[in-house]
């Protein structure tokens, strides 16, 4: 296992103190999965105190005490940060993820210390000095089999977040739950243990599932199977909601939503491969928007007398349901609000294309939603089904709208106002409530191509409002 030089150096120093460094956790797992390793966690065996560890580390870089009460030191060297810890025992003494009594014990064996971890795939270690892997619970075999298996039944249930961790690992790696682990997770859900989890912790696991999975649907299908969607009724309500087979031969709204989610994840992955990496917040915006785009169908779907299925108004109906679902996960108000226009207008590209919408309509749409973003979401919606066009990867409506918006220079932002309040003042008008009416009127004429320059706008205001 390839390691930063500083970890090799520290390992050599630890050896002189009759201690040994073992790389643990996700970095070892990701090594076997051929994934890039971003964080290294190091457990140190053979020292008698955190103070001894801190003294050794301080000779090589700075040490931050955040997490010291949990037996963890943040070590920084040349701009990189590493988590060093001593093996620890955890005893459940109260409710929640903070209800543990933590004691460090450098004399523990690796197997004993690893027993507190959640899954076998996360309990593999790499002993730096010896250059060997330690795998007391068969994690590598489970990886080969594509299985997520818990380590210890007693300690596993002490933190119900592990149900969501199982879900996100399944989505990220395409693994299945061992039957014993699945039964345990099912018991935890059925007993209501997940109700005690703060939404901030759940959100972290959802973010990992969405951002790190090529097929996030695997994780959501597992939530469905475990009945964990009971805590997210806006999503659960999509199961079994019928759709017009002409437009949605793939099945119900849940099936369609999962297909759309995977299409979006694939789109993001392809952009990354092409060198067009997005900010994490932008990725999450797209992923949550497509997850929520059809929530309104659960409350608006009807059957005509002739059996035709309709979901009239589901776009607008989905706005409040999106708010409801997202606030179950996070209090990030601005982020949640940024999703709503994408949900409310996700059908506009197809509608505008069929109607051959004019410049004014496109410009007006740009005042409500970022058209470039909308096309990305609408494309995933269109391709997340099994129509012939979708299977061919064709989305002409989106291509058409994006081209039109780019020609009008409104793909990324609305048209700029020709006039501002200061321009009205320069014309001799006195600031008043009428200013907003005048500016709105001028802007509407801009959208309609009636006014094309500032000079024309000023002339219009002079003629209409200045005697």
pLDDT tens figures, 162-188:
999 999 999 999 999 999 999 999 999
pLDDT tier at 38, thresholds 50, 70, 90: confident
For tokens 């070590």, name the residue.
75
pLDDT tier at 467, thresholds 50, 70, 90: low
Q: Average pLDDT for residues 424-432, to the nearest whole number?
A: 93
pLDDT tier at 307, thresholds 50, 70, 90: confident
pLDDT digits (tens, 9 = 90+) for 201-248: 999 999 999 999 999 999 999 999 999 999 999 999 999 999 999 999
Residue 38 sits at the vertex; the CA angle it makes with 291 and 97, to the nearest 5 degrees, is: 65
Q: Average pLDDT for residues 291-305, to the nearest whole number?
A: 96
Candidate from 80-94, 193-207, 285-299, 320-334 with smallest mean pLDDT:
80-94
pLDDT at res. 68: 57
Which helix (H) or strand (E) is 265 found in, with range?
helix 253-273
Is a pLDDT exceeding 70 seen at residue 58? yes
pLDDT tier at 156, thresholds 50, 70, 90: very high
**Percent helix / strand / coil, the chain, rounded to 5:** 55, 10, 35
CA–CA gap between residue 380 and residue 260 (Å, rounded): 5
pLDDT tier at 114, thresholds 50, 70, 90: very high
pLDDT at res. 26: 93
Q: How far is CA 27 from CA 42, 126, 279, 320, 337, in A?
A: 10, 10, 23, 40, 35
Residue 60 sits at the vertex; the CA angle it makes with 57 and 61, to the nearest 5 degrees, is: 85
Say what percent of the chain tops pLDDT 70.
Answer: 96
Is a pLDDT exceeding 90 seen at residue 276? no
Which helix (H) or strand (E) is 40 found in, with range?
none
Alpha helices in 333-453 (DSSP H): 333-344, 348-355, 359-366, 371-383, 388-391, 396-407, 421-426, 434-447
Q: Establish whether domains 5-142 and 146-231 are of one fold.
A: no
CA–CA gap between residue 457 and residue 349 (Å, rounded): 30
Pick the CATH number of 5-142 from 3.10.20.30, 3.40.47.40, 3.40.50.1820, 3.30.460.10: 3.30.460.10
Helix axes 161-173, 199-212, angle to 10 degrees: 10
Q: Does domain 146-231 have CATH number 1.10.110.30?
A: yes
pLDDT at res. 71: 75
CB atoms within 10 A of CB 427: 14
Residue 21 and residue 82 in contact, taking contact as beta carbons nearer than 8 Å: no
DSSP labels, 298-320? HHH-EE-TT--EE-TTHHHHHHH
List, in order, residues 6 or more apart from 232 with CB less than 8 Å away: 223, 325, 328
- Parallel, antiparallel or unpaired: strands 309-310 and 20-24: unpaired
CA–CA gap between residue 236 and residue 248 (Å, rounded): 19
Is a pLDDT exceeding 90 seen at residue 332? yes
List, in order, residues 6 or more apart from 435 with CB less than 8 Å away: 421, 424, 429
Q: Which of 74, 71, 100 is nearest to 87 (CA)?
A: 71
* Domain residue extents for the chain: 5-142, 146-231, 233-415, 421-465
Is a pLDDT exceeding 70 seen at residue 199? yes
Is a pLDDT exceeding 60 seen at residue 97? no
Q: Which of 61, 88, 83 is nearest to 72 (CA)?
A: 83
Is a pLDDT exceeding 70 seen at residue 302? yes
Mean pLDDT in the chain? Answer: 94
pTM for the whole structure: 0.91
- Parallel, antiparallel or unpaired: strands 72-77 and 309-310: unpaired
Q: Average pLDDT for residues 387-416, to the nearest whole number?
A: 96
DSSP label at 150? B
Is a pLDDT exceeding 60 seen at residue 298? yes
DSSP labels, 196-252? GS-HHHHHHHHHHHHHH-S-THHHHHHHHHTTGGGG-HHHHTTTT----TTT-TT-S
Q: Average pLDDT for residues 69-87, to the nearest whole number?
A: 90
Q: Which of 359, 368, 363 is nearest to 338 (CA)?
A: 368
pLDDT at res. 65: 77
pLDDT at res. 95: 61
pLDDT at res. 126: 98
For tokens 């810890």, name the residue.
85
pLDDT at res. 69: 60
């Amino acid at each position: 296992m390839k390691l930063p030089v500083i970890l090799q150096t520290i390992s050599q120093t630890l050896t002189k103190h009759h201690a040994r460094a073992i790389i643990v956790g996700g970095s070892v797992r990701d090594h076997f999965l051929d994934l890039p390793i971003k964080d290294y966690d190091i457990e140190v065996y053979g020292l008698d105190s955190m103070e001894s560890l801190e003294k050794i580390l301080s000779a090589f870089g700075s040490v931050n005490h955040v997490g010291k009460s949990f037996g963890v030191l943040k070590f920084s060297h040349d701009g990189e940060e590493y988590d060093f810890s001593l093996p620890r025992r955890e005893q459940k003494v109260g409710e929640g993820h903070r209800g543990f009594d933590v004691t460090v014990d450098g004399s523990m064996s690796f197997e004993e210390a690893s027993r507190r971890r959640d899954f076998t795939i996360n309990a593999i270690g790499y002993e730096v000095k010896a250059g060997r892997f330690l795998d007391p619970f068969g994690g590598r075999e489970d990886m080969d089999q594509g299985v997520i298996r818990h380590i210890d039944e007693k300690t596993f249930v002490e933190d119900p977040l592990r149900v969501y961790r199982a879900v996100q690992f399944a989505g990220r790696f395409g693994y299945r739950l061992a039957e014993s682990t699945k039964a345990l997770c099912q018991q935890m859900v059925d007993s209501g243990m997940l109700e005690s989890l703060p939404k901030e912790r759940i959100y972290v696991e959802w973010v990992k599932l969405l951002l790190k999975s090529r097929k996030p649907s695997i994780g959501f299908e597992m939530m469905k199977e475990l009945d964990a969607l009971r805590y997210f009724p806006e999503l659960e309500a999509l199961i079994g909601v019928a759709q017009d087979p002409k437009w949605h031969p793939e099945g119900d709204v849940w099936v369609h939503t999962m297909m759309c989610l995977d299409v979006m994840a694939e789109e993001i992955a392809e952009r990354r491969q092409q060198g067009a990496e997005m900010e994490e917040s932008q990725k999450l915006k797209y992923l949550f928007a497509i997850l929520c785009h059809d929530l309104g169908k659960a409350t608006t779907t009807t059957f005509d007398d002739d059996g035709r299925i309709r979901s009239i108004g589901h776009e607008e109906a989905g706005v409040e349901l999106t708010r409801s679902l997202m606030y179950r996960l996070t209090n990030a108000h601005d982020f949640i609000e940024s999703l709503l226009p994408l949900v409310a207008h996700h059908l506009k590209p197809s509608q505008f294309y069929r109607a051959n919408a004019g410049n004014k309509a496109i410009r007006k749409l740009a005042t409500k939603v970022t058209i470039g973003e909308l096309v990305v979401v609408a494309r995933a919606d269109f391709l997340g089904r099994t129509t012939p066009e979708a299977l061919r990867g064709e989305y002409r409506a989106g291509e058409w709208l994006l081209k039109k918006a780019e020609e009008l220079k409104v793909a990324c932002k609305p048209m700029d106002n020709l006039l501002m309040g200061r321009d009205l003042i320069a014309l001799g008008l006195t600031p008043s409530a009428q200013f907003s009416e005048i500016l709105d009127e001028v802007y509407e004429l801009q959208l309609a191509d009636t006014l094309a320059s500032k000079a024309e706008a000023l002339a219009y205001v002079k003629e209409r409002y200045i005697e």
